[in-house]
Each structure stands twice: as C-alpha cells, then as structure tokens.
Structure 1
C-alpha cells in the first residue's frame, strides 16, 4: 500500500511538472514564467525525495540539495534581471 501511494504521488508530481511547463511556455507574463520555473524546482525536489524513499537510500540527498540551491539561485537571478535588467552589477574602479 505504501509503494502504491508513493508511486501515485510521483505520478501527480510529474503531472504538476507538465502543467508548470505549459505555464512556462504559454505564460502571459515573465513573472508567471519565473514562478512556474520555481515551482518546477520545488516539485523536482519533492519528486527526488519520494524516489529516494521508494528506493530506500540516502544517495539522493545531495541531488536534492543541489537542485534546491540551483532553483533558488535561478529564481533570484531571473527576478533581478526582470527588475534591474542586469543580474550582476559591476562597479567601476577609478
């Protein structure tokens, strides 16, 4: 029963990722697309965690951390790019 619930939740997470990919592709505005990309990152973290529980291993914990960090950094970079037009500001040295 436990494996059935975990498999079902993985299927729902995959459907959620497809819905977010549709929002990234057809989003009405750029903030909507950024939100969908962030949601894909969070969903991937959850999916990898469920997959790790299904396999009964701790080997994917590093993958969860890396995907979470990259998702966060990507969201911040997109938001700064949208707000200021540049991700990294360079100061002039005289």
Structure 2
C-alpha cells in the first residue's frame, strides 16, 4: 500500500481526535464524556494498527489490543457506576 496513503490516514485519524477531546472537555453530561473517551480510545487503537502496518512491527498491535480491552472494560465499569452508583 502507498506510504502516502497510510500517512494521510494517520493524519486524518489524528484530526479525528480533536472533536473527541473537545467533547471530553466540554461535554454537557458524564455519559457524553464517556462516549467521547471510548471513541477516542478506538481511534487510537486504529491508529496503532495502521502504524503497526507502516512499521511492520507486531508490538504496536499488542499495544492496540491491550488498549482496546482496557477501554472496553473501563466503559462498562463507568456505565455501571453511572447506572447503579457502584462498580462491583
């Protein structure tokens, strides 16, 4: 795949983080902030996947997998805390 296209994809995804950061800072409610944080984590996971392909290294995929798992568990924990007031 073209190096220019991959660099463009990474740049586009970096700009996609800006609305997420804005919503995390200025979100009117806590659920809005949680959704923005989860979206930001998923964009970073995809960026790590593309970067792993560019660098031809599997270590970035390991980091992407760990980040995806932590983001998923964190989102579930925060949603449960918002709903019931306790995590466990």
Equivalent residue of 1:83, what SS? helix
Aligned counterpart, 1:92: none
Equivalent residue of 1:60, what SS? helix
**TM-score, structure 1 normalization:** 0.88
Aligned counterpart, 2:37: 37
Cα root mean square deviation, aligned: 1.1
Aligned counterpart, 2:3: 3
In structure 2, runs of 5+ residues without a counterpart are: none
Bigger Rg, which one: 1
> Does 1:28 find its partner at 2:39?
no
What stretches of structure 1 move > 2 A for 4+ residues in a row? none
Aligned counterpart, 2:57: 57
Post-superposition Cα deviations, 1:9-29, rounded to whole Å, max 9, x if no partner, equal 111111111210110000111
**TM-score, structure 2 normalization:** 0.93
